[in-house]
Amino acid sequence: MNKIFKKGIVALAVLTFLASCKKEGSLNANLDIIDQNIIKNKNSTDIWLDQNFLNPYNIETKYRYDRFEMALSKNITPPLIEQVIPAMETVRDVWIKPFETAGGADFIKRISPKQFVLAGSAEYNSNGTITLGTAEGGRKIVLYVLNDFDKTSLPSVTRMIQVIQHEYTHILNQTVDITPEYQTVSRGGYEANWTQRPLTEAYSLGFITQYARVSPLEDFAEQSSNMLMMGRVKYNSIVATLPADAQAKLKKKENYVVEYFKTAFNIDFYQLQSEVQKALFNISAPVLHRMIGPGVGYTTLTTNPSVEPNQSAEFLTTWNTAKAAVAAIGGAGRQLVNMQFIFGANNLLTVRYNYTNAAGAALQADADYTMAVNATTGVATITLNATQPTTTTYGNMNTLRPGVAAINTYLTSGTFRINWINQIIPGQIGFIGSLGAFYKSTNANSYIYGVMGN
C-alpha cells in the first residue's frame, strides 16, 4: 500500500512537470471544411428547414454531405440543394399533416425522428437490392435517391413517403410494442432470403410485399405503410384477388394494425389512411377509368335508379321501362331492385340485376359483356358476349332478358366516357363509396351513375 502511494506521488510530480512545460498555440484546421453542417451563415434552404421542421417539430434536416451519416463501405452521392425543399415540402404535406389531422396537432412533436439525413443516390447492396431509407434507434431517418425525386410525380412521391411511413412505424413500435400474436398470423412464412421469392408467393402466404417476409416487425411496418399509401380501394382490390387463406391472413393483419393505432395512440387508422390519400390526390387527382378492375381498384358500381334523384333522364326512362317489362313477364310479379356492374379481369364486365320474385325472394340475373376501355381517354365500348356461362344466375337471365332488353340496348348502342360525377353531385372522389358514372359519349346529359366499391 505504501509503495503504491509513493508511486502515485512520483506520477503526480511527472504530470505536474509536463503541465508546466505545455506550450499553447492556435489549431491550424478549418472545421467548416471537415464538417459542412457547422453552419455560420444560413442560406434560404436552411431558413426554410428551420421554419418548417426545426422550430415547429424539433426535427433537424441534414443535407450537406457528411460521410459519417452513411455506411462507410458504400458510395453515396450528396443531394442537390435544389431538391431539398421540394422533397421536404412533400414530407411535411403527405406525412406530417395527415398524422396531425388524425392524431392531433402535437402528435409528431411528441413522437418523431429528430433528424432527417438526405442522400442524393441509393445505397446499393450486394444482394442486388437498393436501400431507399433507414431508421436508427428511433432518432434518425435517412432518405436516399433525393436527386431523382419529382414532387409532381405520384410514383416518385409514393416511393419516398412509403419509406418514411415504414421507418416511422418502426419508431412507433419502439414507443409501444406490437401484440405478440401478430407474428402468429403468417408463422412459417418468414424468409430471410426474401429477394429470391416472387411477390405472388408472398401474397399467397398472406404478406403484402416480399420484404414483409423478413420478420414480424418488418411485416408490420410493411402492412401499415402499404395500407396507408395504397388506400382502401387498391388494398381491398389486391386482397380480393387472393386465395381465401391469404385473404383471411391479410384481413387479420389489417385488424391488428387498426387496433394497434387505436389502443396505442388513439388514432383512427382509416381516417389517417384517408388523409394520406387526400394529400396524394393533391399531387395527382384519381382517374376513375384507371382505377377499375381486380387488383387495381374498384370492382363494382352499384346503381338504384328508382331512388337516386340525380340519375339522368334518359337512363331513368330506360330503367322504368325495364322495371315494367320485368314485372309483366309471365305475370309473375318480379320486381327489379337495382343493377350492378362487376369489373372482372381481361375486360370482363358482368351486369347483375338484383330482383325479387312474386314471393319476395331475392334473386340475381347476370349477363357478361366485354368492356374495352381506351387507356388515354377513358372511353369504353360495351359488347354483349355471344357465349354466356351456364350457372344459376346466368340461367335466371334467360328469364329476365326480354324485360331488360331496353337496358341492354342502352349499354351496347354507343360508347361511354367513364368518370366521376362530383361535378353534378358534390362529394369526395377516389374513396370507397365515391360516385362514378358512365356518360354517353354523344350526350353528356345521359349517364348511369352509382356507388363505386370493392
Distance CA 159, CA 230 (A): 11
Confidence band (pLDDT; 50, 70, 90) for 134? confident
Torsion of Cα atoms, 80 then 86 then 91 then 96, to 10°: 140
Confidence band (pLDDT; 50, 70, 90) for 179? very high
The pLDDT > 90 percentage for the chain reads 79
Q: Which CATH class is domain 40-285?
A: alpha beta
Q: Angle, to 10 degrees, between the axis of helix 216-240 and the axis of helix 244-265?
A: 120
Confidence check: pLDDT of 143 > 70: yes
Q: How many CB atoms lie within 10 A of CB 453?
A: 16
pLDDT at residue 128 in the model: 64
Distance CA 332, CA 441 (A): 37
Distance CA 3, CA 282 (A): 80
For the stretch 199-219, pLDDT in tens is 999 999 999 999 999 999 999
pLDDT at residue 2 in the model: 41
For the stretch 214-236, pLDDT in tens is 999 999 999 999 999 999 999 99
Confidence check: pLDDT of 266 > 80: yes
What does the pLDDT average to over 402-410?
A: 97
pLDDT at residue 323 in the model: 96
